[in-house]
Amino acid sequence: MAEHSITITEVFLIVAGGIVPTLIWLWFWLKEDKKRPEPGRLIMMCFTAGFLSVAVAIIAEGMIQGMTNQFFPGKIIIPIALFALTEEIVKYLAVYLIAFRNKNFDEPIDAIVYMITGALGFSAMENILYITAAIQQSGPLLGVIAGNLRFVGATLLHIATSGIVGIAIGLAFYMNAKRKHTHLVAGLITASLLHTIFNLSIISTKNIGDILFVFLILWLVIVIMMLFFEKVKKVRPETSIPLSTQ
């Protein structure tokens, strides 16, 4: 089948389909921090940093793919796991450079807000690339359907994984540097494992029922994450304790 040529109208649909759903998610999570909202400019910078960081992830993943093809041919799980770790690290670094060194990063809950914001920017760019490819291969209708699936699946995944990293950072907000680093590493590893399991599950699914089950698990993770969101809101210098005892 010949590739479908992208029209100007479809460019608008691609951009809207990629960005609007993530902005809806962003609005939802910002409502959770309405008592002491973060500066709009900093939120937008985090979103943009996440958006642009996809390019870094693509370059890094291309290098990883080349190395794994050379040293681990046929081992699918290795590149998938490394891709997941790469994306989680790239998202974290994008937010770290923009927000975590900013004076407005002044309470534990900010870590979750900024991490999810960066993740939504990252997901928006991924959505745009994915919908573009889907439209080129299958036409506008199937491309839009694919975009809706991304909204439910991959976007939810990035919220969950970056939210986990944000929770780890938030719980350690008042701890010493060593404990902060330990929590960060634990958060990145946990997020990468979830990311890897999701990707492997999607690859191995054989019907819509399996896909819906995977999405259900993601929703459960989001619910648990929201409970931790409330816990992080209550973190104070005297109550901050290691993840191992949470």
pLDDT-based confidence at 2, cuts 50/70/90? low
Closest CA to 57 of 91, 25, 23, 12: 91
Please report the pLDDT score of residue 142 as a whole number: 54
Tally of domains within the chain: 1
pLDDT tens for 95-154 read 999 999 999 999 999 999 999 999 999 999 988 888 787 776 665 555 455 555 555 578
| Cβ atoms < 10 Å from Cβ of 92 | 23
Residue with tokens 């399991």: 197
The Cα 167–Cα 21 span in angstroms is: 23
Q: Is the pLDDT of residue 5 over 70?
A: no
Q: Is residue 65 part of a domain?
A: yes
pLDDT tens for 183-229 read 999 999 999 999 999 988 888 777 777 777 888 888 899 999 989 99
Q: Is residue 201 part of a domain?
A: yes
Containing domain of residue 227, as a range? 8-245
Greater model confidence, 64 or 71: 64
Closest CA to 18 of 190, 196, 143: 143
The Cα 159–Cα 25 span in angstroms is: 9
What is the share, in percent, of the chain residues with pLDDT greater than 90?
A: 53
Q: Is residue 3 part of a domain?
A: no
Q: Is residue 158 part of a domain?
A: yes
Q: Is residue 1 part of a domain?
A: no
Please report the pLDDT score of residue 42 as a whole number: 96
The token duo for 2 is: 């010949």
The Cα 87–Cα 57 span in angstroms is: 6
Average pLDDT, the chain: 85
pLDDT-based confidence at 8, cuts 50/70/90? confident
The 3-class secondary structure across the chain, one letter per residue, is: CCCCCCCHHHHHHHHHHHHHHHHHHHHHHHHCCCCCCCCHHHHHHHHHHHHHHHHHHHHHHHHHHHHHHHHCCCCCHHHHHHHHHHHHHHHHHHHHHHHHCCCCCCCCHHHHHHHHHHHHHHHHHHHHHHHHHHHHHHCHHHHHHHHHHHHHCHHHHHHHHHHHHHHHHHHCCCCCHHHHHHHHHHHHHHHHHHHHHHHHHHHHCCCHHHHHHHHHHHHHHHHHHHHHHHHHHCCCCCCCCCHHHC
Please report the pLDDT score of residue 238 as a whole number: 64
Q: Is residue 2 part of a domain?
A: no
Q: Is residue 42 part of a domain?
A: yes
**Residues 80/199, Cβ–Cβ less than 8 Å:** yes
pLDDT-based confidence at 17, cuts 50/70/90? confident
